[in-house]
Structure 1
Amino acid sequence: MHYPEHKPIGSLLTKAEKQLQEKLPFVLYRKPSEELVYGIFQKDTFQVTVKDFSENGFVFTPFNDPNRSILLRPDEFLSAVYKKEKDSKQRPSLQLPINQKERNNFIAIVSKGIDVLKKGILRKVVLSRKIEVPCTKKPSTIFRDLLERYSSA
């Protein structure tokens, strides 16, 4: 991939919001403990399936189909510096509603995952669940909050 064009963080997030509104593919990411945030933006919705990983771009591979990797082409590659706010106030944790039945089901799945690992059937397991939470924040605000809260992630 070519070198990114450096922009202010606000411009990068505005570009991401525009891509989202236009339903165009993009990715924003930061490496752990770094201040540089990258944005890769594709100008169309054409989906490229990766064949041999020789193409330039950002690759997504679904957990449920590891043989289907999708390439996000870097039609535009931007970067911006995000410095943690010195006096940022600690934001309250999100309190999720607890559905006891779903919680118990997830605990059972985690137990099965641990058993499979102990037996050596698998070396790695990624377990997840979907929790829908009403949200009024813009995605760019959520991304900024994540940058602020998890600087080493």
Structure 2
Amino acid sequence: MNLAEVYAKIGAQLDNELPFVIYRKKEENSCTAFLQQDATVYTTNSYSEAGFVFAPFDLESEQAIVMPYAKSEVITSATMPFSDVDRVENIADKVADCEKTAHITLVEKGIHEIQNSSLEKVVLSRTEKVTTQLDDALQLFHELTLLYSNAFVYFWYHPQVGQWVGATPETLLKVEQGILSTMALAGTKTAEDGTPVIWGDKEKEEQQIVTDFIVSGLSHITDNLQQSAVYTHQAGSLFHLRTDLKCTIAEKTNLKDIITVLHPTPAVCGLPKEKAKSFIMANEGYKRTFYTGFLGPLHMGVAQKSELFVNLRCMEVFAAHVKLFVGGGITKDSVAVSEWEETVKKTETMKKVLRIVGT
């Protein structure tokens, strides 16, 4: 099926108010869509069914939504282009001073908590409203696939829940034929073309916290964990520190056990997990819903392959505006103003595509 035919089917789902997700994996040149055939909100606690899962940050108070394979038409496009060529320059958009002040105050509160308690790291985030004139969010999905070949790009819709679009660089996990793969991705820098990225102690510590958390958690599932050296990973105009981890898992290990260990990681929550989560929910001042949750296909094909991605660099789409979500990891060495500036840089992933589609 060619791309135009896939997009036409997406348009029909929107017209008929039927759920769907369309996505393109990292470095792939085709997209896949789940077209759910009814408007039911299906949920999952076990992650045992084949389908596409869309899960919130807080699984204790909200449920993961699944588009079941058995209830969906699943289609794949033929070749689609991508370029990673900047077709619009980065522009420092004006953000309201009150938003800046509020986020700096939040970060300072987080730093104080870390310096005066057992909290080691906390990821603090904010939202930003951008007025738009979109015909539909499919334009955003298409442009994101062109801009970011090294991201998992998606457009998810359910008439009873809403519309989300994103381009995330972070894999939560991949399970295929008894092999589990994951990554520890943290620390953020920008760099001019050709300029080497210089990592400071703050970023190195932040990434090591994530790595140690994953290694400790997976030690309860496997005893043969393999770990790469730390290296620099590029995601659009941003750079992160990354460690890859891989292990074999027993046949009896179920996906829910692995998700319980990994989600939410210190890269999106903090450490200790429950203390960081409590601080986030008491102080951020908004409900994250699906931001910093996870999404992806479950138990697909003969190999029963599951690939889940952390929901970063995303937006919730409304009739006349979008809501951007952005955050950063706070440690004892954080500087509040610098953390604010990092969030401004991170919103550029989404703002760039908003400018392309003419909003």
In the comparison of the two structures, how many residue pairs are matched? 146
CA–CA separation in structure 2 for the residues paired with 1:49 and 1:108:
37
CA spacing shift, 1:11–1:114, aligned 2, 3 Å: farther
1:139 corresponds to which residue? Answer: 137
Contact 1:17–1:139 (CA<8 Å) still a contact in 2? no
Q: Within 5 Å, which residues of 2 pair with 1:3-82?
A: 7-66=1-60, 68-74=63-69, 75-80=72-77, 81-82=79-80
CA–CA separation in structure 1 for the residues paired with 2:82 and 2:52:
26
Structure 2 unmatched runs, 5+ = 152-359
Letter of the 1:27 counterpart: V
2:105 corresponds to which residue? Answer: 108
Letter of the 1:125 counterpart: V
**Please, which moves more after superposition, 63-72 or 51-60?**
63-72
Letter of the 2:12 counterpart: K
Report the identity percentage.
25
CA–CA separation in structure 2 for the residues paired with 1:115 and 1:30:
41
1:3 corresponds to which residue? Answer: none
Contact 2:13–2:20 (CA<8 Å) still a contact in 1? yes
Q: Offset at 1:49?
A: 1.6
**Please, which moves more after superposition, 51-60 or 130-139?**
130-139
Q: Which has the higher strand share?
A: 2
Q: Offset at 1:109?
A: 2.9
CA spacing shift, 1:138–1:51, aligned 2, 3 Å: closer
Give the secondary structure class of the aligned counterpart of 1:45.
coil
Which of the numbers 90, 96, 99 marks the counterpart of 1:99?
96
Contact 1:28–1:38 (CA<8 Å) still a contact in 2? yes
Letter of the 1:73 counterpart: P
CA spacing shift, 1:114–1:18, aligned 2, 3 Å: farther
Structure 1 unmatched runs, 5+ = 1-6
The alignment's C-alpha RMSD in Å is 2.9
